[in-house]
Amino acid sequence: MARYLLRRAVQGAFVLWAAFTAGFVILYLLPSDPVEIMLASTGSMGELDPGAVAALRAEYHVDEPFYVQYGIALWRFVQGDFGTSIPQRLPVTELIGQALPETLGLAGLAFAIAVVLGGGLALLTGYLRGGRLRWLLLSLPPLLVSIPSFWAGLILLQVFSFRLGWFPAIGNRGFASVVLPAVTLALPTAAIIAQVLIKSLRQTWDEAFVVTATAKGASRLRVLFVDVLRHASLPSLTLVGMTVGNMLAGAIVVETVFSRLGVGRLVEQAVSAQDIPMIQGLVVLSALVFVVVNLVVDAVYPLLDPRIRPSRAAT
């Protein structure tokens, strides 16, 4: 088990390194000059003399060849240093560290809502045998997938904040302010969970052990929850890793719509200001989230399905 964990940790480190490199290549290799972008964004393009620009270039190592730049950046990355945010003049890690708890809270609540909503929808359609209600429920996930989260968020704002006044419209104050953003963030994820779970529930109903359970006289509800659900939830679990990544991406839009502080807002601001070190740090952060979530998912697999043992999963 210890060897397995070690191996996974090495794999995770590799993904982080690769994401860092991918981000570096995209951000530094494409035909653009970070110093020029920086000067243009601060509006001091024409004011500085060539000497000062050259000094700035040297400070950010832009004048070095690519492999030297990469080496410097990689050495810093290993030490956990992502440089300084260009417009804010603060370390990237500090800014991300401040924003992360807000986004984690938002994403955590959204994830819980998505699981309850999506799982409930799938289970209800799995329980119903037919009829208009089932048809209606089945048409919900494709509809939810098609709704852009910025639009869903604005509609929720209009109805629940402005018309009904149940929730505050913007900001990070208290639990009430996180409800609408979390629901907005949860909707597309819930739809995806429901789609995958509905499909695997449907396939599981045809399995021999389900027939056996039914033949032994178990009620449909019992078969659904005890036999079918456990077997059918594996594909959805695989989905979780991707879902969490999507939540991070969704937070970019949702936090902008609801004017909340958080990592998503940082992304939006960093892109607006073309803040390259910040973007680089956020790309690595998303890879880190991906690695951690997949580790957790792999750890949960054997609990659901005893046939999957770490030794086998590692091969």
Partner 1 sequence: MSDPATTLPGGPAPHEPSDPGTPGLPPGPDSGLGPASVSVSGFGPVSEPASDLDSEPGSGSDLGPDTASRLGLPRRGTGGARAIVRRPGLVLSVLFLVLVLAWALTPGVFAPFDPLVGSPKDKLLPPNGTYWFGTDHLGRDLFSRVVHGASLSLTATALAVLVGFLAGSSLGLLSGYLGGRFDDAVMRCVDVLLSIPGLLLSLAVVTVLGFGTLNVAVAVGVAAVAGFARVMRADVLRARTQVFVEAAEALGVGRWRSLIRHVLPHAVGSVLVMAALEFGTAILAVSSLSFLGFGAPPPAPEWGSLVSEGRNYLVSAWWLTTLPGAVIVLTMLATNRVARALDAGRGDDR
Q: Which of residues 238-267 bind partner 1 (CB under 8 A)?
A: 238-239, 242, 245-246, 248-250, 252-253, 256-257, 267
CA-to-CA distance for 243 and 297, rounded, in angstroms? Answer: 12
| Binding status of residue 129 toward partner 1 by CB under 8 A | yes
C-beta of 49 vs 226, nearer to partner 1: 226
| Binding status of residue 201 toward partner 1 by CB under 8 A | yes
Contact region for partner 1 (CB under 8 A) — 20-28, 52-60, 83-91, 175-183?
Answer: 20-28
Of the candidate residues 91, 199, 225, 310, the single one contacting partner 1 (CB under 8 A): 199
Residues ≥6 apart with Cβ < 8 Å to 82? 76, 91, 92, 93, 277, 278, 280, 281, 284
* Closest distance of CB 95 from partner 1, Å: 16
Of the candidate residues 72, 124, 147, 234, the single one contacting partner 1 (CB under 8 A): 147
C-beta of 181 vs 188, nearer to partner 1: 188
Answer yes or no: are the C-beta atoms of 233 and 197 closer than 8 Å.
yes
CA-to-CA distance for 56 and 51, rounded, in angstroms? Answer: 9
241 CB-side CA count, 13 A: 17
* Closest distance of CB 2 from partner 1, Å: 25
| Binding status of residue 157 toward partner 1 by CB under 8 A | yes
Residue with tokens 């500090």: 94
Contact region for partner 1 (CB under 8 A) — 22-30, 82-90, 103-111, 305-313?
Answer: 22-30
**Which 211-230 residues touch partner 1, going by CB under 8 A?**
211, 214-215
* Closest distance of CB 247 from partner 1, Å: 9
* Closest distance of CB 210 from partner 1, Å: 8
CA-to-CA distance for 136 and 263, rounded, in angstroms? Answer: 36
CA-to-CA distance for 183 and 111, rounded, in angstroms? Answer: 9
Beta bridge partners of 84: 91
Of the candidate residues 8, 19, 156, 260, the single one contacting partner 1 (CB under 8 A): 19
| Binding status of residue 237 toward partner 1 by CB under 8 A | no
| Binding status of residue 231 toward partner 1 by CB under 8 A | no
Which residue, 252, 289, 250, 278, is CA-closest to 95? 278
CA-to-CA distance for 71 and 68, rounded, in angstroms? Answer: 5
| Binding status of residue 271 toward partner 1 by CB under 8 A | yes
Of the candidate residues 1, 10, 30, 303, the single one contacting partner 1 (CB under 8 A): 30
Residue with tokens 């960093």: 270
| Binding status of residue 117 toward partner 1 by CB under 8 A | no
C-beta of 1 vs 208, nearer to partner 1: 208
Residue with tokens 């995958």: 196
Answer yes or no: are the C-beta atoms of 214 and 285 closer than 8 Å.
no
Q: How far is CA 272 from the centre of its chain?
A: 21
Q: Is 59 exposed, middle or buried (0-12, 13-18, 19+ CB in 10 A)?
A: exposed
Of the candidate residues 126, 181, 262, 281, the single one contacting partner 1 (CB under 8 A): 126
